[in-house]
Amino acid sequence: MASHSDTLVVFFGATAGANGGKLGSDEREIILLVWQIVDLHEKKVGKLHRCLVKPDTLELTDQCKEETGLSLDDTVTAEPLDKVLQQFHQSVSSEVKCLGRSSYTICVNSPLIIRQALHPEASKKNLVLPECFFSFVDLRKEFHKCCPSAGPVQKLTPASMLECILHHKFSCVETVKYKFDSGTCKTEPVDSETVIRARGLPWQSSDQDIARFFKGLNIAKGGVALCLNAQGRRNGEALVRFINSEHRDLALERHKHHMGSRYIEVYKATGEEFLKIAGGTSNEVTQFLSKENQVIIRMRGLPFTATPQEVLSFLGPESPVTDGSEGLLFVKYPDGRPTGDAFVLFSCEEYAQNALKKHKQILGKRYIELFRSTAAEVQQVLNRYMSTPLISTLPPSPIVSTRDCVRLRGLPYAAGIEDILEFMGEHTVDIKPHGVHMVLNQQGRPSGDAFIQMKSPEKAFMVAQKCHKKTMKDRYVEVFQCSTEEMSIVLMGGTLNRSGLSPPPCKLPCLSPPAAYTAFPTLPASLSEVALYQPPLLAAPRPPQTTAHNPAHTLAYYPPQPHLYMNMNMNYTAYYPSPPVSPSTVAAASPVLPQPGALVRMQGLPYNTGVKDILSFFQGYQVSTCETCRSTSSC
C-alpha cells in the first residue's frame, strides 16, 4: 500500500518583490502559487495548477515583473491569499482522494516559500494555514543525499531532481513548529551560530510575540530571552536561539521587518550573551520553573509585608495559582528584604487572563501591577537583585565644571530662536554655533525655558548680568549662568533651581552615579539647534532669589564628569510612557528613559507638611495622584 511519501505535492510561489534566493527577505506579499501532484508509486503527475494572489499592497517591483512575467493588472482581479489557500486545499484533497490516498507531503524546491513567505504572511494576516504546510520535503537536500556527487543543483529543475530520486526514500521531512515552547534554558554551552539579537521591539512585546515575528523558523525551547536593564525593565531587545544555524541565517534575513508599525533590527549574537541573559544559577529559580507549560505573570508593587496567602486571596478563585503557594516566587534582596516583586505560575491562559484583570487593583494600601513574563525574565530579575550590593558605592570626588552656558526662564511660549537672538542683542556674537536649545514639554510645546551655549564662562557671566530680567514681548525673562553638565541633566528630564540640581525622574532613587550616564559620548563642539526633552516643571517665571548654587550639595548626588554629556544626535522624542505590560527598559549602555511625566524634589518643607498641603502648593498643575498614593497613605 502506498504511503504519504509516495504522494507529493510539488509547491512553488512568488512574491511581489524579491524571489529566488532572496524570497521573503523584503516582506513583500505572495502573488503567485503553483502546485502539481506527483504519484511516485505509479510514476504519474497530475494537473498543473497556477493561481494568482491579490496582495493587500498593489505594487510589484521591476525584478518581480521580469522574473514572473506578471503585471499589476494580472493581480488586481485575483483572489486574496486566504481564498487561494482554500482552493489549494480543496483541489489537492480531491485529487489525492481520487488516487486512493489519504495523505500527502508538500515538496518544495527551496524552504523559503514555506518558512520566509507563507508562514510570516499568514501570521501577520491572522490566517490559519492547512496542517500540510507544517511539514515538507526540501527537494534540493534530498537530491544531495541521494546523489552526493551530482554537484551544484542551481541549474537543475524540480522535474529533473525528482527523476533522480524516484526510488529514493525521503530521509528527512522538515517541520514548522505550531507554537513556541517556553521554558528554562539549561546552562549548557550554546552554539553562537544559532543566536541572534532583535532590537527595537515594542515595550509590550512578549516572548510569544517575538516567536510570532519569526514564524516559520523553529526557535529552541526557552529560546527567547527578553533583555532587562538595571532597574528590571525591558529595554526593547531580545536574544533568540534557533534550533540550528540554517534557521538563524534565515532569521537574519528578517532584518528591518515589521512588528506592527515598528521595524525590528536583527543582528548576530553569541551563545555567551544568550546564557548571560537566559541562564539561571539559582536552585530556587530552577525549581520554580521546573513545571512545564505554565503561564508566568509578574506582580510589582506588593506591600513588603505581603504573605503568600494574601497574594492568593488577591488573585481570587478565578485565577488559581499552580500548586498554591508553591507557584509563587517572591523576589528578595540578598539580606532577605522583599523587593515588592513576585512571579506567579498559572496552568492555562484563561487563569492568567483573569489574573491580568487585577492590574492596578489594591492590596493593602498599594495598587498592584501585573504583567506577562517569561522564564528568562524570572532568572534575570532574581540574579540581578541577588547580586545587588547592600551598601551603595560612594560617589567620587566632585570635579569642577565649566559654567559656559546660560538658562533663560520665563520666555513667552510663542518665542522662537529668532526672538532669543534679538533678546541677546550684542551678545549674539558670543553664542557658539547652533548653541540655542529650546526646551519643549512632554506634548512637544514650548516650556518657556531655553539654554544657550556661550563661547566662554566670562561671556556667560556677562550675559547673565546684562540680560537678567530684560523684557521680551511684555514678559521679563530671567537669565542664569549654568554649566553644560547642568544643562544636559535638565534637558534629559531633570530640574535645575537655586537650591541645587535634581536628577532626571528615572534617577531619583539612586545615590551613586548612574552607570547608564557613562555611556553618553563626549559632547560635540556644537549641539543641534532644537532638542525635545521632558518638561523641567519650571514653566512660569518666579522672582529671583539670592541663594547661590551649592555645588557640593548638588554633586553629592550627581558629580559632573567629563563624559557626562549628551549625544545631541539622539532622538529625544523617544521618551515613551510605561506600557501596560511587563516593565520595559533600556539596556545598560543606552540612555535611561524616564517614566511618564516628571518628578520634582522639594526641599525645606515644614516638618508638619501633609499631602494636602503639597497638592495645594501645586494647585493649577497636573499632579499624578496615583504615584502619590504609592508613597503615602493619606490620599
Under CATH, to which class is 283-386 assigned? alpha beta
- C-alpha span between 576 and 567 (Å, rounded): 18
Residue the block writes with cell 494574601:
310
CATH class of the region 405-493 = alpha beta
At residue 118, the pLDDT reads 97
Residue 520 Cα to chain centre, angstroms: 21
pLDDT score at 541: 38
Residue 314: per-residue pLDDT: 96
CA angle 136, 140, 144 (to 5 degrees): 120
List Cβ neighbours of 487 (8 Å cut-off, separation of 6 or more): 405, 407, 437, 451, 453
DSSP state of 116: I
Q: Which three cell numbers stand for residue 247?
A: 534557521
Q: What is the pLDDT of residue 620?
A: 63
CA distance 451 to 434: 11
Which residues of the chain fall below pLDDT 50? 1-2, 388-399, 498-595, 626-635
pLDDT at site 17 = 94
End-to-end CA distance of the chain: 78
Give strand pairing partners of 582.
none
pLDDT reported for residue 245 = 96
Q: Are 113 and 133 in contact (CB under 8 A)?
A: no
- Give, in degrees to the nearest 5, the angle at Cα 93 between 92 and 95: 65
- Specify the domain boundaries for CATH 3.30.70.330 within the chain: 192-278, 283-386, 405-493
CATH of the structural domain 7-175, one choice from 3.40.50.360, 3.30.420.10, 3.30.950.10, 2.60.120.10: 3.30.420.10
What pLDDT does 621 receive? 66
Closest CA to 157 of 136, 175, 140: 140
Residue 35: predicted pLDDT: 95
pLDDT of residue 170: 67
Rounded CA separation 82/88 (Å)? 10
The CATH 3.30.420.10 portion of the chain extends over 7-175
pLDDT value of residue 148: 67
CATH superfamily placement of domain 192-278: RRM (RNA recognition motif) domain (3.30.70.330)
Residue 356: predicted pLDDT:
93
Q: What is the CA radius of gyration of the chain?
A: 31
Question: Given this model, what pLDDT does residue 230 score?
Answer: 67
Distance CA 164, CA 554 (A): 80
pLDDT at 529 (0 to 100): 35
Count other C-beta atoms under 10 Å from residue 612's C-beta: 10
Q: So what's the pLDDT on residue 220?
A: 93
